[in-house]
Amino acid sequence: MLKTLVVVFLRGGADGLTLVPPVGDDDYHRARPRLAVGAREAIALDGAFGLHPKLAPLERLYRDGVLAVVPACGSEDDTRSHFEAQDLIERGGTDVAGGWLGRWLRRGSASSGGALAAVAFGTALPESLRGAPGATVVRTFEGLGLGADAGRLARELARLYEDDPLLAESARDAEDALRRLASLRESDYRPEGGAVYGTDDFALALRRMAQLLKAGVGLEAACLDLPGWDTHFVQDTAMDPLMLRLGSGLAAFCADLGPRLAETGIVVMTEFGRRVYENASLGTDHGRGGVMFILGGGVRGGVHGRWPGLGESALEGPGDVAVAQNYRDVLAPVLSRHAGAFAPEKVFPGYALRPLAI
């Protein structure tokens, strides 16, 4: 069973046709005479799809069977607004309270609700974690501690609530978390498995996440963003460095976890994909179907789901990849592998799941 779920959100609408180009689809090459990734450039996944060469660090994970790729993913909503699309996906539907990850932690998982059960790496709590029993936003470990008086303050906290029937357990949990955090020093951390992290914010967040997982602080869900995917202009210039950061960061994280990867589920998602046709500015505009990556324990590697094709009759709206896989159907099998009972009617209310076999 999985113990920790990691959600990486590519904010800005990442172009799935570049991340995982359908190199075997002639319509793809006709629609993008200047932006298409050639079959010889791409890292072959199967006869139809390849991996962008900037994502080469992920190839080994794919060959090892711990990386699943799901093209033509998205929601049922056809909004072209980043904010509306992100809000819809992170809430897990319309007219629902809180976020899907928060509901899962509260009702669907075996969450202890501990002080560090849910952590968002960054500066703001993502909508997906709204409603969680407890969630912490952090940039560095120093931001999680209580400074030089941590020990004294933790003991006073425990004494203050030790006889409270409702809060005693939470106070003990907070004291234990603070004690563990006090022992963490980023400068002392040595990644394992030959992992080499970059120095950008995304890589450092993954490094801290690995350190927390190994420290045994009870981390059950973690969120982090990699923004910048809104590529209307000169798309390659914007996407190439982002793909390098994404591929190298995830590869280092997985190597660093080592055997712990079998207890960790990693989801990479975005709010929507891009339009099939390249625009006059060597970019792509907001579209529908994107791509999701699933890594880690219990994953059935490979390319999964139905590919609707890119012929004119298969496109949606003004020229978009059709959504053939709803994002909830991709998340469901990951959640079901975690400890505890997955209650889909509570996590994704009002949606009839058709889980993908990944």
Find the range with the poorest average confidence among 62-76, 139-153, 247-261, 326-340.
Answer: 139-153
Classify residue 323: in a domain, yes or no.
Answer: yes
Residue 195 in tokens: 């992992």
Tens of pLDDT, residue by residue over 185-225, are 777 899 999 999 999 999 999 999 999 999 888 899 999 99
Check residues 135 and 152 and name the one with the higher pLDDT.
135
Find the range with the poorest average confidence among 36-50, 123-137, 138-152, 308-322.
Answer: 138-152
Q: How many domains is the chain partitioned into structurally?
A: 1
Classify residue 111: in a domain, yes or no.
Answer: yes
Classify residue 358: in a domain, yes or no.
Answer: no
Classify residue 272: in a domain, yes or no.
Answer: yes
Classify residue 300: in a domain, yes or no.
Answer: yes
Q: Which domain holds residue 291?
A: 4-142+195-347
Question: 220 vs 126, 130, 216, 285, CA distance in Å?
Answer: 16, 15, 10, 36
Tens of pLDDT, residue by residue over 242-269, are 999 999 999 999 999 999 999 999 999 9
Which whole number is the average pLDDT over 120-128? 95
Classify residue 150: in a domain, yes or no.
Answer: no
Find the range with the poorest average confidence among 19-28, 145-154, 283-292.
Answer: 145-154
Classify residue 91: in a domain, yes or no.
Answer: yes
Task: Give residue 136's pLDDT.
Answer: 87
Which whole number is the average pLDDT over 82-96? 94
Of the pLDDT bands very low, low, confident and very high (cuts 50, 70, 90), residue 134 is: confident
Classify residue 182: in a domain, yes or no.
Answer: no
Task: Quote the DSSP letter at residue 336.
Answer: H
CATH of the domain at 12: 3.40.720
Which whole number is the average pLDDT over 131-139? 88
Task: Give residue 179's pLDDT.
Answer: 65
**Predicted structure pTM score:** 0.92
